[in-house]
Amino acid sequence: MRLIPFKKYTDFLCVKPDSSKGKKDTGRFWWLAALLAFSIGVWYLYWRITATFNTEDNLARWISITVYSAEVYGFLAFIFFFLQVRKGPDRIPPIIETYPAVDVFVTIYNESVDVLYRTIVCCQAMEYPEDKKKVYILDDGNRKDVKDLAERLNCAYLSRPTHEFAKAGNINYGLAHSSGEIIAIFDCDHIPVRTFLTETAGYFKDPDVAIVQTPHYFYNPDSFQRNLRLEKELSNEQDLFFRVIEPGRDYYNSSFFAGSSGLFRRKALTEIGGIQTITITEDLHTSMVLHARGYKSVYVPHILAAGLAPESFEGYLKQRKRWTRGGLQVFLLDNPLIKRGLTFWQRIQYFGAVYYFLHGIPRLIYLSAPLSFLLFGYAPLRTGLGELLTHFLPYYIASLIAFHRVSKRLRNPFWSDVYETAMSFSITATAFATFLNPGNKKFHVTPKGLHKAASKFNLHLVYPHIILSGLLMTGIGTGFYDLFSDRQVSPDAFRISIFWGIYNIILLIAAISTASERREVRISPRLKRMIPGDILFDNTKIPFITSDISDSGISIMLSGPQITIPLFVKIDLHGDNGERVSLTGMVMRNDSVRQGEMVAVGIHFMKVSEENRQAIIRMMFSSPDTWSSPPEASAGVYLSFLTIVISPLRLFLHEKVLHRFYPRIKKEIPCEIVRNGTVSKGVIKDISYTGVRAKIYGVLSLENDIILRIYHSNKRPLSIEGRIAWIKKAKGDTLAGVHFMEHNSDLLELLKG
């Protein structure tokens, strides 16, 4: 068995070089495409208002006006989008001549301590003079386990006695109890690379710079990618903003702090009274107030930190409702169009940002408009199908081309419609509530670091979508009935409404499918990483490069015939900064792939020390090249539409099952799981050298460290350290898979017996 040649290995992993190098710049002259789309759009809207309104009575007139207003909103949103698109300034990190003191704030409320652990380890690993950097955990949950973690990782811990103004108040409390010249802020799930500070702090050499922001990048799939099983076809929903819009805003000195992975100048924050608290989008509002004071912002277009996207559809909706309420609060309470101190272009940029949050209302109009004819006989527009296509298709195609020129393939055609459809009901209700009560500052934290033990369909999140889908199907059926009966039906209005209704049903079904949550099979994140290392056993040394890694194990690909690797091996890993880790590993699988040309080996780390766990986390997240070539979606127009149509069918696909290297023997043996002093009784269903499948009485949760007690024969119970790898509910009880974390010779006797 030998090490796979690098080229063959990267081909296998589908690791591609930066596709932007050596290629023609597809974004050149985008403004010509945008100008063409704008001109055709004006022509289309003029035709719509002068030739297509249904004026048979007042109700018909109001239906036409409502649909037309939604189209006008979309046209203005198109304009605001392209006004935010420019090539940002070329940024080369300035050389730091004198290092300013930096306070690193990591905020947490009720999120997982394991998520926080990874962030703190990598914050401590950031390259910067130790006497000029201090890491703080700002705990707004007053949790003992968070305080204990701060002591363990040697960082400062702050927890305020009161909790007003949510995250903004938490940061302001940190400002009052620290003294660094520069404040770097991270959410508890955003993990920086080790060069984060050296690539950002130098911009504060300019005394007018108050904000430095880096992109948000997410190392896990978002709820659309995950639940629809489209990780390879879709980019993350936020990539368009951070890789297209924020660089364009930087051109106009209006890029804003995005809540995490950014830095502030303390002096500037002090001048405006700290992080702003009159809205719940403190990041956007604070940035606008600083710009109004004449300060500059810098957007660094390099991914220097990575975080967790909301793992659940419910978390996604909570996040978007919070952004909607906060954005509209900025519009209502501190409107950028009339705020003193902002430049003309800053007003446009900030107004465009808050204008976006109204998109739920026109989306609902689009979704329900076909019903006006199909159920009630009122055509929302009166025109022939051919004439409509003559005017609409040029406008649509020109807009599509213009968008494609600037989107860098980060947003597939049609998927914006799906995103807006999925959140339309939630954010429309939030928008109306905000207009009625703009002072509501209730802050909902986006859940992160969730472990879903079982698949789940969140019906309560999409029942409005289901009802509207049913109405559209009913309307289409009614329309066909009327067409083939003796009733008089306008053929053109029928065709338009049928095609429109079918497209809306496709969007609604895709949105409904997103509420079907996939179960989470891993406790720790597993990332694709090429880290060199060696397997050591019986005077044998096998070099490898990892294909993926987590803080609990690795997967590797070896070329050549499959050989028997012992159950327990030594593993050496070599980090890119000279750091080395030696571990004991247990082989979990050893599968032949590609007709025996390669062998896929999965190895689980055993009894990882605190020092080694931190080293592994640094290898996973801290390298400056960690996120240098983020994946991009590649689906074009037709494939994108096809993907939307068939995406609900993917819900019926079975999860891939890995082959087992060690057989499981069916045995029913009484057992107990001991975790944090709590004992849960149960019975083992099957067992192998590497673990067991057990039925545990009652409810169980995923745990990293447990003790499994096995009561076999009349002997003293066998106790083995392990971790719960997966759980599944079973009529009030829990089925659990337990991986052993140590080798116990008594297992041999148990398995033979």
**Rounded Cα gap, residues 491 and 384, in angstroms:** 9
Told to judge if 283 belongs to the known catalytic residues of this protein, a careful annotator would answer yes
Nearest to 15, CA basis, from 635, 619, 576, 528: 528
Question: What angle, 0 to 180 degrees and rounded to 10, lies between the N-to-C axes of helices 58-83 and 360-368?
Answer: 130
Per the residue annotation, which of 139, 187, 239, 283 is the catalytic one?
283
**Rounded Cα gap, residues 753 and 749, in angstroms:** 6
Contacts of 571 (CB under 8 A, 6+ apart): 533, 534, 535, 536, 554, 581, 582, 583, 584, 585, 603, 605
Q: C-alpha angle with apex 195: 189 to 196, nearest 5 degrees?
A: 45
Residues 235-241: contacts with CB under 8 Å, at least 24 apart: 235/409, 235/410, 235/411, 235/412, 235/631, 235/632, 235/633, 236/309, 237/309, 237/419, 238/309, 239/410, 239/411, 239/630, 240/407, 240/410, 240/411
**Rounded Cα gap, residues 375 and 253, in angstroms:** 50
Amino acid at 677: G
- Tokens 């067409």 -> residue: 483
CA R_g for the chain? 29
User: By the 8 A CB rule, do 539 and 497 touch?
Assistant: no
Nearest to 668, CA basis, from 697, 694, 644, 646: 694
CA distances from 718 to 484, 709, 715 (A): 76, 5, 8
**Rounded Cα gap, residues 44 and 69, in angstroms:** 13
User: How many residues are there in the chain?
Assistant: 753
Nearest to 256, CA basis, from 293, 218, 294, 298: 298
* Largest interatomic CA distance in the chain: 91
Residue 681, H or E segment: strand 678-687
**Rounded Cα gap, residues 388 and 463, in angstroms:** 33
**Rounded Cα gap, residues 126 and 133, in angstroms:** 9
CA distances from 499 to 68, 127, 363, 494 (A): 18, 58, 17, 9
User: By the 8 A CB rule, do 310 and 222 touch?
Assistant: yes
Name the residues annotated as catalytic: 140, 283
